[in-house]
A and B are shown apart, each in its own frame.
Chain A
Amino acid sequence: MSLKEKELLKNSPPCSSNSLSNYLWEDHPDEEKWADCVHCGMCLESCPTYLETGQEQHSPRGRVHLIKSVAEGKLEVNEQFMDPVFQCLDCRACTTACPADVDVGGLIEEARGQVRQAMPLKGVKRVVSSFFLKGIFPHQSRLQAAGGLLKFYQKSGLQKAVRSTGVLRMMPNHLVEMESIMPEIHRSTHQRYKNVDVIPAKGTPKAQVAMLKGCIMDVMFSDINQSTINVLIHNGNDVVLPKNQTCCGALHIHAGDRETGKKLAKQNIEAFQDAQKVVVNAAGCGCALKEYPELFRHDPEWKARAEAFSKKVEDISKYLYDTGYEKPQSAINKRITYHDACHLAHGQGVRHEPRQLLKDIPGVDYVEQPNADTCCGSAGIYNITNPEMASAVLERKMENIPNDVEMISMGNPGCMLQMAIGVQKYGRGGKIVHTVQLLDWAYQADAKKGVKAGVISEKEERENRS
């Protein structure tokens, strides 16, 4: 949107219902959402930033109060408003705690949209943010190139050189921590399946599913994408990777760039047009896809399309649980705990399914961690934008990880990176894995032993469902 257009918008009636409002742009926070909040405070203890600061402007009800105050003309969209709105991890724990189901996450994202239009990022922040959010994530080829660079960095000896020369000492601490846990880069599924239309199921196919590759997932964690495909085909699913799919837009929406978010959403809705089911292995992406209709509140045509699309979206663990999966026979003899990714537990209500999946692997000694569903501080790119708070939240998370676990399983790449930092920083044991990887490894062990894939007995399927 050009500056002139923005000015024009400013002069039009700012809010349909309330002329006092200080929200000057379209798509402002939805009054119906905050009308549900009666300020009871039941959200307080669920909020990581409130627990850390003890300050109510950094609590869900405080933020809702501020968002409402702007609409009532008591507050302006300025730095002081921006701080609480952007300190929010967008972890949605408050949505779970709220007795009235107030959509705090939605309000925060809408408010961020207003902030970013009122106060566009400046200087280095603007360059870095638009480089990644607009320049890299939405473009598959550039992502692949970045992945290639990282791979080169790791394989060429450059990483070794950087680590030994002390160049890292010149970087901020949180970036050094990130560099140190960078996973090994593998060939992306995008490259591997470039010329494949359908990856066929083993045995008789029972369904066809489309998979979201994700942007970062396919570069940093392509082995998890591969595991997801393996597990899906193992259980009788033909898998397609629609060509024109793109980044889900979650990070853009979290950052207040709703326009790019909408563009990406439209592209994905079209790319997955023919799919019956869209399976996602990244909680943050899955949640964003399911919330596409929210982006098109004021656009009935796209809203309807988004609603039809979001109904097809399912997390991999829930999809497997609902449609049945073969219980592996080979054992993984490890003590394992599970961390609820916020956007899986609070965002999608998926808690039981991944745990059941873990428990179905022979040999797994499952141990529940206290407060398994509190945020780890990753929160998209929050750990880059708000390193101090992210690190405090992470410290709390690590306190809850049982000392003797050998693996920490979860369903979101952002959490995996953050938890890896945590494990390293606090000198803790525990390999970070994606739930679906464990299942894949057990199947692979089965295959070595000659257990046939793709055959699920009716009995097993019934047990899976119950």
Chain B
Amino acid sequence: MLLARKKKEKIDPDILALSKIVGAKSILHHKEDLLSYDCDGFTIHKAMPKAVIFPKNTEEVAAAVKYCADHTIPFLARGAGTGLSGGAIPLNNEVIISLVKIKNLLSVDYENRKAVVQPGFVNLKLTNSISHKGYYYAPDPSSQYVCTIGGNVAENAGGAHCLKYGVTTNHILGLEVVLPDGEVIEISPNGVLDTPGYDVLGILTGSEGTLGIVTKIIVRILKNPESKKTVLAYFNRVEDGSQAVSDIISAGIIPAALEMMDQTAIEGVEAGAFPVGHPPDIEALLLIEVDGVAEGIAEQIEQILSVCENHHVRDVKVARDEEERGRWWANRKTGFGAMGAISPDYLVQDGVIPRSKLPEVLEEIRAINKKYNLRIANIFHAGDGNLHPLILFDSRIEGETEKALLAGTACLKACADAGGSITGEHGVGIEKKEEMRFIFSDDELEAQTAIRDVFNPDNLLNQGKLFPTPSKCMDIKKVVKPI
């Protein structure tokens, strides 16, 4: 990319300085090039960055961060930009530090079951790179085909199989981080579990890019389970499906994954690119996977089938082979994007509730659906009570975006009131920062921002995310006009 497009074009001195750090080919600063960076997977708010830079190593990240810090320029980190809560949207005309060029798998230590990756390394590529040895990386967000592990750390990403194996934070053994003043630190550099002292890894994982920029990650890798079986069950009534979820867990089974989709969601995935042929007239389907030692799997499957039978399952089947299992999962994992086939826009929410409250909360979501006259599809990790109501709307229709936002807030309120939380795995970002008040008091929020101030005292790094802005909490929900 040429720095100046026209001969007489005057280049901003900050752009010139940053281009000296990363190289003229690794910086974007013309409006047309920046437009693709005005949002991430959350498209309701849009804002233009000052520039996008593509550093190639930790040193360049540190130098760029230092320059921004010294010149009070707001900045933030971005990976694949698949985040669903707007964590990578440059609300304050930030310099975006894109980590997609720092994308290598540095080393794998099979004996000690760990791997060292760079932040731009794509989640699924890790599993693909180690599967020939019989290993895999457990956290599997639905966007794992494209999302980066750096982004996973920032958002503490979850996924379908986190019910049994835990979310990202349970798989992080060490980090290299560029602090907001440009200093590079290493935390648990040998990847040894449970170093004494405060759990700094825990604080950084899920900090949504507000505490530092991760440049190297030591992750835990797992041995492939000996055996794996997947069940698909169709229910005429959503209540039966929810009850089956509860009963499976009560039976003492911990499935590797326990996913649910409702009728509207099924309509979406069947209209999308990976249809399975689910019947259109069922209210709920469950996708259940158990894995582990081969012995015992059959017994668990028997138990699951009988629970489903007890709850009037219309049809239930076990995947014949890996190919069929793959098709079921592709259908589920591309579920969000598939909504594009039935709606021009969607807003995905990410509430958590106690499993036992599933039927009630779903009922409430239906009422919200009616109140705002918007369709809501539900795709969720039923096993751990992580709901994803997808509010379908058309931003081209005047007022619909605002309505969708209100409906989203109402869904989260319902989750919080049921004793749950406003986010399970997508993060707070811009989207849910006001809703943080549903679960935290002012004092609790203040205590958390005090932690942020230790790392990020000038608040130049990813400003305006994660916590409600104290003074103007009421304006925040107003949709930022696209630039």
Residues of chain B within 8 A (CB-CB) of A56 are 36-37, 81
User: Known: A38-B43, A57-B35, A102-B340. Contact between A97 and B101, CB under 8 A?
Assistant: no
What are the interface flags for B31-61 relative to A under an 8 Å C-beta threshold, 1 for contact and 0 otherwise? 1110111011101000000001010000000
CB <8 Å contact, A97 and B145: yes
Distance between Cα atoms of A101 and B36 in the complex (Å): 20
22 sampled A-B residue pairs with Cβ under 8 A: A36-B341, A38-B43, A38-B340, A38-B344, A39-B43, A40-B143, A40-B340, A41-B146, A42-B82, A42-B334, A45-B122, A45-B146, A54-B120, A55-B28, A55-B54, A61-B36, A80-B31, A81-B32, A98-B337, A99-B334, A99-B336, A100-B339
Give, as a whole number of angstroms, the nearest-CB distance from B2 to chain A.
11
CB <8 Å contact, B35 and A99: no
Asked whether any CB of chain B lies closer than 8 Å to the CB of A22, the reply is no
Residues of chain A within 8 A (CB-CB) of B337 are 38, 40, 42, 98-100
Residues of chain A within 8 A (CB-CB) of B54 are 54-55
Residues of chain A within 8 A (CB-CB) of B82 are 40-42, 44
Give, as a whole number of angstroms, the nearest-CB distance from B271 to chain A.
8
Give B406-440 interface residues, CB cut-off 8 Å to A: none
Distance between Cα atoms of A74 and B145 in the complex (Å): 31
User: Known: A100-B341, A101-B272. Contact between A57 and B33, CB under 8 A?
Assistant: yes
CB <8 Å contact, A38 and B339: yes
CB <8 Å contact, B35 and A98: no
Residues of chain B within 8 A (CB-CB) of A97 are 145
What are the interface flags for B334-370 relative to A under an 8 Å C-beta threshold, 1 for contact and 0 otherwise? 1111111100111000000000000000000000000
CB <8 Å contact, B341 and A101: yes
Residues of chain B within 8 A (CB-CB) of A42 are 82, 143, 145-146, 334, 337
Give, as a whole number of angstroms, the nearest-CB distance from B438 to chain A.
26
Asked whether any CB of chain B lies closer than 8 Å to the CB of A207, the reply is no
Distance between Cα atoms of A140 and B255 in the complex (Å): 64
Give A71-114 interface residues, CB cut-off 8 Å to B: 74-75, 78-81, 96-102
Residues of chain A within 8 A (CB-CB) of B145 are 42, 45, 97
Asked whether any CB of chain A lies closer than 8 Å to the CB of B274, the reply is yes
Residues of chain B within 8 A (CB-CB) of A79 are 5
What are the interface flags for A23-40 relative to B under an 8 Å C-beta threshold, 1 for contact and 0 otherwise? 000000000000111111
Residues of chain A within 8 A (CB-CB) of B334 are 42, 99
Distance between Cα atoms of A57 and B35 in the complex (Å): 8
In the complex, the chain B residue whose C-beta lies closest to that of A65 is B36
CB <8 Å contact, A39 and B39: yes
CB <8 Å contact, B338 and A99: yes
Asked whether any CB of chain B lies closer than 8 Å to the CB of A59, the reply is yes
Give, as a whole number of angstroms, the nearest-CB distance from A432 to chain B.
28
Distance between Cα atoms of A236 and B370 in the complex (Å): 62
Asked whether any CB of chain A lies closer than 8 Å to the CB of B200, the reply is no
Chain A contacts to B: CB under 8 angstroms: 35-45, 54-57, 59, 61-62, 65-66, 69, 74-75, 78-81, 96-102
CB <8 Å contact, B36 and A62: yes
Residues of chain B within 8 A (CB-CB) of A99 are 272-274, 334-338, 340-341
With most chain B CB atoms within 10 A of its CB, the pick from A37, A59, A81, A101 is A101
CB <8 Å contact, B80 and A41: yes
Give the contacting residue for B273; candidates A65, A75, A101; CB below 8 A. Answer: A101
Residues of chain A within 8 A (CB-CB) of B338 are 99-100
Distance between Cα atoms of A66 and B273 in the complex (Å): 23
Asked whether any CB of chain A lies closer than 8 Å to the CB of B100, the reply is yes
Residues of chain B within 8 A (CB-CB) of A66 are 32, 35-36
What are the interface flags for B309-344 relative to A under an 8 Å C-beta threshold, 1 for contact and 0 otherwise? 000000000000000000000000011111111001
Residues of chain A within 8 A (CB-CB) of B345 are 38
Give, as a whole number of angstroms, the nearest-CB distance from B190 to chain A.
30
What 9 pairs across the A-B complex have the smallest Cβ distances? A100-B340, A99-B337, A80-B32, A99-B334, A62-B36, A40-B337, A56-B36, A41-B82, A54-B100
Residues of chain A within 8 A (CB-CB) of B341 are 36, 99-101
In the complex, the chain B residue whose C-beta lies closest to that of A34 is B344
In the complex, the chain A residue whose C-beta lies closest to that of B331 is A99
CB <8 Å contact, B80 and A44: yes
Give, as a whole number of angstroms, the nearest-CB distance from B55 to chain A.
11
Distance between Cα atoms of A37 and B338 in the complex (Å): 9
What are the interface flags for B217-241 relative to A under an 8 Å C-beta threshold, 1 for contact and 0 otherwise? 0000000000000000000000000
Give B1-38 interface residues, CB cut-off 8 Å to A: 5, 28, 30-33, 35-37
Distance between Cα atoms of A309 and B176 in the complex (Å): 59
Give, as a whole number of angstroms, the nearest-CB distance from A389 to chain B.
13
Give the contacting residue for A41; candidates B33, B143, B344; CB below 8 A. Answer: B143
User: Known: A54-B98, A57-B36, A98-B273. Contact between A37 and B340, CB under 8 A?
Assistant: yes
Give, as a whole number of angstroms, the nearest-CB distance from B364 to chain A.
25
Distance between Cα atoms of A56 and B147 in the complex (Å): 14
Residues of chain A within 8 A (CB-CB) of B340 are 35-38, 40, 99-100, 102
Distance between Cα atoms of A39 and B120 in the complex (Å): 19
CB <8 Å contact, A69 and B344: no
Residues of chain A within 8 A (CB-CB) of B98 are 54
In the complex, the chain B residue whose C-beta lies closest to that of A63 is B36
Residues of chain A within 8 A (CB-CB) of B273 are 96, 98-101
Give, as a whole number of angstroms, the nearest-CB distance from A395 to chain B.
17
Residues of chain B within 8 A (CB-CB) of A45 are 122, 145-146
Residues of chain A within 8 A (CB-CB) of B81 are 41, 56
CB <8 Å contact, B35 and A40: no
User: Known: A55-B28, A99-B272, A101-B341. Contact between A38 and B336, CB under 8 A?
Assistant: yes
Residues of chain B within 8 A (CB-CB) of A55 are 28, 33, 36, 52, 54
Give, as a whole number of angstroms, the nearest-CB distance from B348 to chain A.
9
Distance between Cα atoms of A61 and B37 in the complex (Å): 11
Residues of chain B within 8 A (CB-CB) of A62 are 36
Give, as a whole number of angstroms, the nearest-CB distance from A392 to chain B.
13
In the complex, the chain B residue whose C-beta lies closest to that of A100 is B340
Distance between Cα atoms of A53 and B272 in the complex (Å): 29
In the complex, the chain A residue whose C-beta lies closest to that of B98 is A54
Give, as a whole number of angstroms, the nearest-CB distance from B76 to chain A.
15
CB <8 Å contact, B36 and A41: no
CB <8 Å contact, B30 and A80: yes
CB <8 Å contact, A65 and B35: yes
Residues of chain A within 8 A (CB-CB) of B101 are 54
Give, as a whole number of angstroms, the nearest-CB distance from A368 to chain B.
14
Distance between Cα atoms of A188 and B43 in the complex (Å): 54
Give the contacting residue for B32; candidates A39, A44, A75, A100; CB below 8 A. Answer: A75
User: Known: A99-B273, A99-B335, A100-B337. Contact between A74 and B35, CB under 8 A?
Assistant: yes
Give, as a whole number of angstroms, the nearest-CB distance from A291 to chain B.
18
Give, as a whole number of angstroms, the nearest-CB distance from B28 to chain A.
7
CB <8 Å contact, B30 and A100: no
Give, as a whole number of angstroms, the nearest-CB distance from B226 to chain A.
26
With most chain A CB atoms within 10 A of its CB, the pick from B5, B35, B483 is B35
Give, as a whole number of angstroms, the nearest-CB distance from B61 to chain A.
14
With most chain B CB atoms within 10 A of its CB, the pick from A42, A43, A62, A74 is A42
In the complex, the chain A residue whose C-beta lies closest to that of B147 is A41
Residues of chain B within 8 A (CB-CB) of A41 are 40-41, 80-82, 143, 146-147
Give, as a whole number of angstroms, the nearest-CB distance from A365 to chain B.
21
In the complex, the chain A residue whose C-beta lies closest to that of B83 is A41
Distance between Cα atoms of A35 and B41 in the complex (Å): 15
CB <8 Å contact, B336 and A40: yes
Residues of chain B within 8 A (CB-CB) of A80 are 5, 30-33
Distance between Cα atoms of A98 and B33 in the complex (Å): 23
Distance between Cα atoms of A102 and B272 in the complex (Å): 9
Give, as a whole number of angstroms, the nearest-CB distance from B1 to chain A.
8
Distance between Cα atoms of A81 and B143 in the complex (Å): 28
Residues of chain A within 8 A (CB-CB) of B122 are 45
Distance between Cα atoms of A392 and B276 in the complex (Å): 37
Residues of chain A within 8 A (CB-CB) of B120 are 54
Distance between Cα atoms of A102 and B31 in the complex (Å): 25
Give, as a whole number of angstroms, the nearest-CB distance from A37 to chain B.
6
